Structure 1
Amino acid sequence: MKILIIGSKGFIGQHAFDHFKSLHFEVLGCDVVTDYVSEDYIQIDATNSDYHAIFEQHKIDVCLNCSGAASVPLSLQNPFKDFSLNTLNVFKILEAIRSYQPSCKFINLSSAAVYGNPETLPIKENATLHPLSPYGIHKMQAEQILKEFHEYYNIATCSLRIFSAYGEGLKKQLFWDLYQKFLNNDQIELFGTGNESRDFIHVDDIVQAIHLVIQNAKFRGEEINIANGEEFTIQYVAELFHTNFHNSKTIAFNNQVKQGDPLNWRADISILKALGYQQNISIEKGIQRYIDWINAL
């Protein structure tokens, strides 16, 4: 089986590339970053991405799209760039698959941001979507594009709604911010009340889930929650960081909610579990590993 990973130099993409390589899959990486060393890598133009040549020249069994923007604040500042990376780019990839290799399976990394503030917890895949940001809207539109290509062109597609991803290699978002603040500040100030909650999933478990999807999913344009079905408050996560730092610094919340941020998330992962998923890395173990990784930098 030959797997093409678009966005292979990014956080999830790099972990996925290493995972499938370690299992002796034939893996081809693709990104906008220059790489003069790797032979199994294709660089694409960041300003004018074109995937036709890739699918014309290589026989691909599975295309995993890990590329795109992953920032709610940046999507508010530059919505066209976010749309181009998260929506238009998906259409370009699928059009290349349709033109040259219609038997190729296509997986797109979507986001729990499509849900916004859910009406009930846990969140099922058939919940009403209320995205709170351009980022969430563009991910929702990409999901519709996957449905379109399956319904009208019989392309095997599947959207993975990633919840709160974290792990070694991620130098942004909540955990990176927490580490920097514990390292440099006497008082740790965070947005919100501390009661906001997320369903965290370590990148190793995300990659495990992707592998199971490739093996067992229906690929009929469906969406699948990628999470652990657990709800942890930001206050709890901050205290875990506090425990690992062994200091007397204090944590305070400013009661301000960032634009585009949902309040509470916990996923229903019945579909994912039916594919064979079992969590390997707890939030406690994952945060300890994350801090150990940063300390070793």
Structure 2
Amino acid sequence: MKILILGSKGFIGSHLEDYLSRKGHDVWGADILVDYSGNTNYFLIDETSSNFNSVFAHTGYDICINSSGAASVLESIKNPLRDYYLNTVNVFRILEAIRKFQPGCRFLNLSSAAVYGNPQRLPIVEGAPPGPLSPYGVHKHQAEQICREFYNFYKLHTCSVRIFSAYGPGLKKQLFWDLYKKIRSGKPFALFGTGDESRDFIYISDLVMALEIVSEHSDFKGNIINVANGEEIKIREAVAIFSGCFDIETKYSFTGEVRKGDPVNWQADITKLKQLGYRPKIDIRTGLQNYLEWVSTSENN
């Protein structure tokens, strides 16, 4: 397949580009960062004012995977307008360019479990009522609605995937990155929450494999698919597993304080994803050991 990845320099986008290239696909990329590698299959785009016409006007693709946009709950609270432009308006602009120049190109929109907020029950099915707790979650939900709109009214083939808690090499933020820095300090530290909060973690290699499966087997009729491992893991358990990977005695506590925009418990129902052929390969222990090896090497270099 000829595949365009928007946001190809980001955490998910860069892994996806590497993975799909190794699988023999013809992969093109676009992002706001200058590419110094000499890659000719790359478009430099503007963060908030690009109309995306130049990306689609002269090169045809089988599918466009949108991994671009803002990815911070806290930043969305501080600057909701920027988050709105990056996560909602740009999706509209992308789909308008596809409608104008390549109506046969499928569009895979990377959404987020943040759309669910605090669900009424676990595991969370795709039909669960949305309840976003932040502008980020609201804007991701609006982007999904735009994808459905373009399918319903213009018959553009769209699909949105709600990604749960992704982690792995290349990610220098969120829980495990913060944990690494605190553990390496050798000092006692405190973490937000009670530790009884839970997440459904998915390792980056499983995630990009899932995206390929959805790209090849979903019907792209404005539908939504959960992307996760389908396992609920308490934060205190994840912290204990990661701490156990170090040769350092670790002392920590939980503050009981809940950060604005953070959900309490997540676990995805991944029945739809499994029906397409997905089976996770990396468990949390293996994934965290891999992450520690990467981040240790990265810091030393």
Under a length normalisation based on structure 2, what TM-score does the superposition of the two structures give? 0.97
Distance 1:269 1:47, change over 3 A: closer
The letter for the 2-side match of 1:43 is: L
122-131 vs 185-194, greater mean Cα deviation: 185-194
Distance 1:45 1:138 in 2: 19
1:97-116 superposed matches below 5 A: 97-116=98-117
For the Cα contact (< 8 Å) 2:48–2:86, is it kept in 1?
A: no
2:23 aligns with: 23
Counterpart mapping for 1:168-247 below 5 A:
168-247=169-248
Q: Residue deviations 1:225-274, cap 9 Å, x none?
A: 00011011110111112111132221200000000000000000000000
- The SS at the match of 1:144 is helix
Q: Point out the more displaced range, 238-247 or 201-210.
A: 238-247
The number of residues matched between the two structures is 297
SS in 2 for 1:245: coil
Identity %: 53
2:5 alignment partner in structure 1: 5
SS in 1 for 2:8: coil
Alpha carbons 2:183, 2:250 under 8 Å: kept: yes
Ranges in structure 1 where 5+ consecutive residues have no aligned partner: none
Which residue does the alignment assign to 1:133? 134
- Distance in 1 between the 2:236 and 2:17 partners? 33
**Aligned equivalents of 1:229 and 1:53: distance in 2?**
39
CA distance in 1, matches of 2:224, 2:162: 7
**Distance between the aligned counterparts of 1:102 and 1:249, measured in 2?**
55
2 CA distance for matches of 1:39 and 1:161? Answer: 31
Partner residue in 1 for 2:33: 33
Instruction: Give RMSD over aligned pairs.
Output: 0.8
Asked if 1:253 corresponds to 2:254, the answer is: yes
Q: CA deviation at 1:53?
A: 1.4
SS at match of 1:220: coil
Is the alpha carbon distance of 1:185 and 1:69 closer, same or farther for their aligned partners in structure 2, counting shifts above 3 Å?
farther
2:163 alignment counterpart: 162
Counterparts of 1:139 and 1:145 in 2: how far apart (Å)? Answer: 10
C-alpha contact 2:242 2:288 (8 A) present in aligned 1: yes
**Which stretch shifts more, 158-167 or 176-185?**
176-185
CA contact (8 A) 2:186 2:248 kept: no
- Aligned AA for 1:26? D
Letter in 2 for 1:258: R
Q: Which residue of 2 aligns with 1:85?
A: 86
Paired with 1:232 and 1:23, the residues of 2 have a C-alpha distance of 31
Paired with 1:188 and 1:292, the residues of 2 have a C-alpha distance of 22
Query: Aligned partners of 1:249 and 1:212: how far apart in 2?
Result: 40
Instruction: Give the superposition deviation at 1:20.
Output: 0.9
**Mapped partners of 1:185, 1:57: distance in 2:** 55
Report the Cα offset of residue 185 of structure 1. Answer: 4.3
Structure 1 residue 50 displacement after superposition: 2.1
Could you tell me how far 1:112 is from its partner in structure 2? 0.2
2:101 & 2:31 partners in 1: Cα distance?
20
User: CA–CA distance in 2 between the matches of 1:281 and 1:47?
Assistant: 36
The AA in structure 2 aligned to 1:11 is F
Per-residue CA deviation, residues 115-174 of structure 1 (Å, 9 max, x unaligned), is 000000000000011000000000000000000000000000000000000000000111
Shift of residue 48, structure 1, vs aligned partner:
1.4
Matched to 1:105, the amino acid is R
Deviations 1:45-98 (A, max 9, x none): 224122111111101110000000110000000000000000001000000000
Partner of 1:57: helix, strand, or coil? coil
Residue 265 of structure 1 is matched in structure 2 by 266
Aligned to 1:64: 65
Amino acid at match of 1:19: Y
Unaligned runs of 5+ in 2: none
Report the Cα distance in structure 1 between the residues aligned to 2:126 and 2:234, rounded to whole angstroms. Answer: 22
